[in-house]
A and B are shown apart, each in its own frame.
Chain A
Amino acid sequence: MDSEHLHRKLIAAARALPVDQEAPFCFEKRIIANLGTIPRPDFMGWLAQTLFKPAVFFVGVMMLTGVWTYVHPAPPTAENDVPEIENAIWAPLDSLGEAV
């Protein structure tokens, strides 16, 4: 007998089987005996769980970027001349110090 025919017969047999809905005596008592109090929705727990995966992802990105910049440092150019940027940032404070 081919498998397609067997498949159809097996499904027909499964459908023809009587559905057993019987529960053991006083089964609901057993469930109730094992219940605690209803846990209230935990907003902070939900927030921590939601934010955990993106946080792990971004920490990974940060570490990869760190490794990348350490292994391939950018050569100093006129555009990324750090001392000049630092001087520009600190200039107001320097001038304040001179005024005092």
Chain B
Amino acid sequence: MAMELSDSDLIAAALKGDHGSYETLIRKYQPRIFATARRYARRPDEVEDIVQEIFTKAWQKLASFRGEAPFEHWLMRLAVRTCYDFLRAHQRNREANMSDIGLDELDWLEKWDGGAFEAAEQSSAARELVHSVLEQLTPAARLVITLLEIEDRSVKEIAQLTGWSAPLVKVRAFRARAEMRKVLEKMSRTK
């Protein structure tokens, strides 16, 4: 039975130019990276482009990975920063999407009792609504709401992932919540 190589062995081989070892690393971590990218982009082609960019950057910067922290942490930092860059590059589309918010979906949210989604349509409506609301936020607000409230990460973790200081994360979280309340108020008024 072939023994499974550790991340450090695979990285060492990849650094010598072995694409096969890097392919193994991609196969291992791509589910988590796809899940992360799907939180910030909706269209499948955008998600794929983000994931490809993350793994390409990781390959280019692999020589700077010192192995002090697990490879997964290093890769997740890169993933979060790439997603943030993606949001900043696409922030002009925010206002244009305001009309995309489905009022039926808002009705559905008001009636939802907080239980598990029973049908695929419910899950799809929830996904659409969450994306539509989050798309109205500034990139920093969206990132901090996603990491802090949806993924339930600590301020310290977010600071490590984003490269922001802990007080900056707290300030941005405060502003993000206010921004989100404003968006929801605007939606309720439109309704």
Contact = CB atoms under 8 A, between A and B. Distances in A.
Interface in A20-39: 20-24, 27-32, 34-35, 37-39
Given A3-B188, A31-B52, A21 B133 contact: no
A28 B47 CA distance: 14
A32 B22 contact: yes
A14 B60 CA distance: 34
Contacts of B19: 32, 35
Given A3-B181, A28-B30, A15 B150 contact: yes
Most B-side CB within 10 Å, residue of A14, A16, A17, A19: A14
Going nearest first, the 9 A-B pairs with the smallest beta carbon separation are A21-B31, A28-B26, A3-B184, A3-B181, A14-B130, A13-B126, A6-B184, A3-B185, A23-B30
B181 A13 contact: no
Interface in A37-69: 37-41
Given A15-B150, A19-B35, A21-B32, A27 B114 contact: no
B15 interface: yes
Interface of B: 14-15, 17, 19, 22-23, 26-27, 30-32, 34-35, 38, 48, 51-52, 55-56, 59-60, 62-64, 109-110, 112, 114, 116-117, 123, 126-127, 129-130, 133, 145, 149-150, 152, 177, 180-182, 184-185, 187-188
Contacts of A7: 177, 180-181, 184
Contact of B123 (A11, A15, A18, A22): A18
B130 A13 contact: yes
| Chain A interface size, under 10 / 10 to 19 / 20 to 34 / 35 or more | 20 to 34
Contacts of B130: 10, 13-14, 17
A24 B51 CA distance: 11
Contacts of B38: 19-20
Given A1-B110, A28-B23, A35 B59 contact: yes
A38 B55 contact: no
Contacts of A16: 114, 116-117, 126
21 contacts: A3-B188, A6-B110, A7-B180, A7-B181, A9-B109, A10-B180, A10-B184, A14-B126, A14-B150, A16-B117, A17-B126, A19-B35, A20-B35, A23-B31, A27-B30, A31-B23, A31-B26, A31-B52, A35-B22, A38-B14, A41-B64
